[in-house]
Amino acid sequence: MILLVAQILLIAGVVWFVVSPIILRRGERAWSESRGEALRRSIGERKTRLYSEIVELDFDRDSGKISREDHERMRNEAMNEVLLVLKEEESLGGARPRPTVVEGGDSVERMIEEYKRSRRRDPGALKP
């Protein structure tokens, strides 16, 4: 008898757990991300991925996993993509999202600034 009561209470608890959000939150609107917020988040994610890729490329070069030529080619491709993402981020304007913390991010930012300066001096260099 006690086992039957325990089973009924367990089933009732599970049913309440599943159904309660539907009953208690009826009529509430779900949070949705605006188009601008989604675009900023997407740009931030791409930027983070690219920064990590650059750090990994440098690590792979230093550890001897890839040749210097491959490293230079792949790094230039990644830097060109970073520049496009940064231009896209600047074109959004408005309030800037909170900066994303990336391991090695400061050094990557310096590398990007150096790359931008080198492109300004020689605009024909490294065109895809």
Model confidence pLDDT, tens digit, residues 19-44: 998 888 877 776 777 888 888 889 98
Enumerate the H helices of the chain as residue ranges. 2-24, 35-63, 68-92, 105-121
Q: Which helix (H) or strand (E) holds 73?
A: helix 68-92
Q: Assess whether pLDDT exceeds 70 at residue 53.
A: yes
- Please say if the pLDDT value at position 126 is more than 50: no
Q: What is the pLDDT of residue 8?
A: 96
Secondary structure class of 102 (helix, strand, coil): coil
The mean predicted confidence, pLDDT, of the chain is 81
Cβ distance 112 to 79 under 8 Å?
A: yes
Per the CB < 8 A criterion, the answer to whether 103 and 50 are in contact is no
pLDDT tens, residue by residue, 86-116: 888 888 875 555 555 555 556 767 777 777 6
